């Protein structure tokens, strides 16, 4: 991966990530380990947008490709990337967060995708096996990075059910369905993982039809809003 990520990417967990054979390495912001409320943003999947170009497909399948996209799409905002822009709007409760705010957010959280298989197209959907495999990896990642909180994109029943099926009987699971945002009911769920409680909030995927102002209130009122300390200046890559 290009050195232009070094100002924002923490590689200190990579040996442990490689030991659990992840298809794509999570994005870990350089300030993740320093902050309170250690938060992972859990997207869903990536599809094959190579259109038959084998060089592009190889790049997509590269272990660092999620990280490279997080630099170009997230930090630098070189692409529209609605799912990123809408989430940033919800966090900062405004339509146009500044470059400094955007850089601060993505340098203080982890971003990862639940599904570890490249989907054929945007119309392809994850299977129950995809979700189960993804949650198994998530639980390993959560232990490695000592995760406290996770914001999950997507409210599908099978996604939640796949996680619940993997948790130990002594996980002391707590679930709360929250007031609806439009036709969507966010879900707060927490459990004990190796003696530490991990809290999850399932929200609508922010890629489309996302009422970012209302979802921002949900993040705030549930105490799941990422803790963002704004940088004093924008780092130019």
**Measured between alpha carbons, how far is 113 from 25 in angstroms, rounded to an integer?**
9
Query: If phi over 0 gives left and psi between -120 and 50 gives alpha, with beta otherwise, what is residue 131?
Result: alpha
Q: 176 pairs with which residues across the strands?
A: 188
What digits encode the pLDDT tens for the residues 43-99?
Answer: 999 999 988 999 999 999 999 999 999 999 999 999 999 999 999 999 999 999 999
Quick one: pLDDT band at residue 231, thresholds 50, 70, 90?
low
Res 36: pLDDT: 83
User: 3-221, which class in CATH?
Assistant: alpha beta
Strand partners, 41: 111, 151
* Alpha-carbon gap, residue 8 to 69, rounded angstroms: 13
Q: If we measure between CA atoms, which residue out of 26, 5, 20 comes closest to residue 136?
A: 20
**pLDDT (0 to 100) of residue 227:** 85
**Tokens matching residue 126:** 């994850």
Structural domain spans, the chain: 3-221
Compute the distance between CA of residue 194 and CA of residue 141 in angstroms, rounded to an integer: 13
For residue 172, give the nearest of 199, 141, 149, 148 by alpha carbon: 199
Q: Which residue has the higher pLDDT, 76 or 231?
A: 76
Q: In the structure, what pLDDT confidence band is assigned to residue 1 with cuts at 50, 70 and 90?
A: very low
Per-residue model confidence as pLDDT tens digits over 96-144: 999 999 999 999 999 999 999 999 988 899 999 999 999 999 999 999 9
pLDDT in tens, 8-23: 999 999 999 999 999 9
User: Cα(213)–Cα(92) distance, rounded to whole angstroms?
Assistant: 9
Backbone phi, psi, residue 62, to 5°: -60, 145
**Closest C-alpha among 38, 13, 8 to residue 25:** 13
Tens digits of residue pLDDT in 185-219: 999 999 999 999 999 999 999 998 999 999 999 99
Tokens of residue 42, six digits: 């859990």
pLDDT surpassing 90 at residue 234: no
pLDDT of the residue at 20:
97
> What is the Cα 20 distance to its own chain's centre?
18
């Amino acid at each position: 991966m290009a050195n232009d990520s070094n100002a924002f990417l923490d590689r200190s967990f990579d040996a442990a990530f490689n030991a659990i054979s992840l298809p794509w390495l999570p994005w870990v912001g350089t300030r993740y380990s320093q902050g309170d409320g250690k938060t992972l943003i859990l997207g869903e999947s990536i599809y094959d947008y190579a259109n038959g170009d084998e060089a592009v497909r190889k790049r997509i399948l590269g272990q660092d490709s999620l990280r490279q996209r997080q630099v170009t799409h997230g930090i630098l905002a070189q692409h529209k990337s609605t799912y990123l822009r809408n989430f940033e709007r919800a966090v900062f409760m405004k339509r146009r967060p500044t470059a400094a705010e955007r850089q601060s957010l993505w340098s203080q959280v982890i971003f990862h995708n639940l599904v570890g298989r490249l989907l054929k197209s945007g119309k392809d959907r994850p299977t129950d096996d995809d979700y189960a495999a993804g949650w198994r990896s998530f639980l390993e990642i959560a232990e490695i990075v000592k995760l406290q909180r996770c914001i999950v994109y997507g409210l599908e029943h099978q996604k939640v059910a796949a996680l619940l099926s993997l948790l130990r009987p002594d996980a002391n699971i707590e679930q709360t369905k929250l007031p609806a945002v439009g036709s969507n009911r966010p879900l707060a769920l927490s459990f004990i993982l190796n003696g530490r409680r991990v809290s999850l909030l399932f929200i609508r995927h922010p890629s489309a039809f996302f009422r970012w102002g209302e979802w921002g209130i949900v993040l705030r009122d549930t105490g799941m809003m990422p803790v963002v300390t704004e940088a004093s200046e924008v780092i130019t890559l």
